[in-house]
């Protein structure tokens, strides 16, 4: 039982593959449309990924701008703290030293953050530029594939017409008009054959009747000749009775 199902499965898949191959050969636009659809999906995914990179780059630019403004504020406060730390007021100077140290740490942190953000932004910009170039190449690829589809479909149409014309020229046409003409020729041929047959049968019937008439005439001539011989014999012997033949019985009855 399993072997039967396996054979049926193999037959079904083979038949489907054969049918698909024949369909693809006669309708190349279907194959090209499927290929274009698959390539466009790849393009859309790549475009989506590049859009994500552009979005991240924009966020990095905003973070860099905010960090720069914050750094400028910290550096302005640092300059003021340096001035206050050099003043004559001891209390203000001590407070300026303490605040200045904190501001120094903030400045260094902001500088490190800006360096990291700038590096990430530059890396994203490089990848964006690279993938934008790939998108342009992909667009050119889609255009070439679409042009190839148009050329292939047109060529397939020309090939089909060429095959049809060649078949017509070699008497292998299968269009409706030619088929109707062939059927008409066949019907006319059958009608002519029927007419010939009836004419032949009529001729044979006339020939048969003529033959029958000829046989009857020969029989009648032979009978008359025989009667003449009998009459001659009677004249010699002196007999007056006329003999009757089987063919004369009906004539004597009528008299």
**203-232: pLDDT as tens digits:** 566 677 777 878 888 888 877 877 777 677
Local confidence band at 62 (pLDDT 50, 70, 90 cut-offs): very high
**98-134: pLDDT as tens digits:** 888 999 999 999 999 999 999 999 999 999 999 999 9
Q: What separation in angstroms does the CA of 200 have from each of 208, 210, 211?
A: 12, 15, 16
Q: Is the pTM of this model over 0.75?
A: no
**139-180: pLDDT as tens digits:** 999 999 889 888 888 888 888 788 778 877 776 555 666 677
What is the residue-averaged pLDDT of the chain? 78
Beta strands in the chain (DSSP E): none
Q: What is the pLDDT of residue 44?
A: 92
The number of C-alpha atoms within 13 Å of 50 and in the hemisphere containing its C-beta is 17
CA distance 168 to 17: 31
Averaged pLDDT for residues 33-57:
91
Helix count (H) and strand count (E) of the chain? 5, 0
The DSSP line for 202-252 is HHHHHHHHHHHHHHHHHHHHHHHHHHHHHHHHHHHHT--PPP--GGGHHHH
């Amino acid at each position: 039982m399993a072997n039967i199902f396996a054979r049926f499965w193999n037959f079904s898949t083979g038949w489907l593959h054969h049918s698909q191959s024949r369909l693809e050969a006669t309708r190349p636009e279907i194959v090209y449309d499927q290929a274009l659809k698959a390539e466009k999906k790849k393009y859309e995914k790549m475009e989506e990924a590049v859009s994500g990179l552009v979005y991240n780059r924009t966020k990095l630019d905003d973070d860099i701008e905010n960090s720069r403004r914050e750094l400028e504020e910290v550096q302005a406060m640092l300059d003021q703290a340096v001035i206050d730390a050099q003043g004559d007021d001891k209390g203000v100077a001590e407070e300026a030293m303490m605040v200045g140290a904190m501001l120094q740490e903030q400045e260094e942190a902001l500088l490190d953050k800006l360096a990291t953000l700038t590096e990430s932004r530059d890396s994203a910009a490089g990848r964006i530029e690279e993938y934008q170039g790939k998108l342009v190449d992909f667009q050119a690829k889609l255009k070439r594939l679409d042009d190839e589809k148009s050329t292939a479909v047109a060529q397939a149409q020309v090939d089909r017409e060429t095959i049809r014309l060649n078949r017509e020229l070699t008497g292998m046409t299968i269009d409706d008009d030619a088929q109707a003409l062939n059927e008409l020729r066949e019907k006319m041929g059958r009608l002519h054959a029927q007419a010939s047959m009836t004419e032949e049968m009529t001729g044979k019937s006339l020939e048969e009747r003529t033959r029958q008439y000829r046989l009857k005439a020969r029989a009648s001539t032979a009978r008359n000749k025989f009667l003449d011989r009998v009459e001659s014999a009677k004249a010699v012997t002196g007999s007056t009775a006329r003999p009757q033949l089987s063919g004369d019985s009906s004539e004597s009855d009528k008299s």
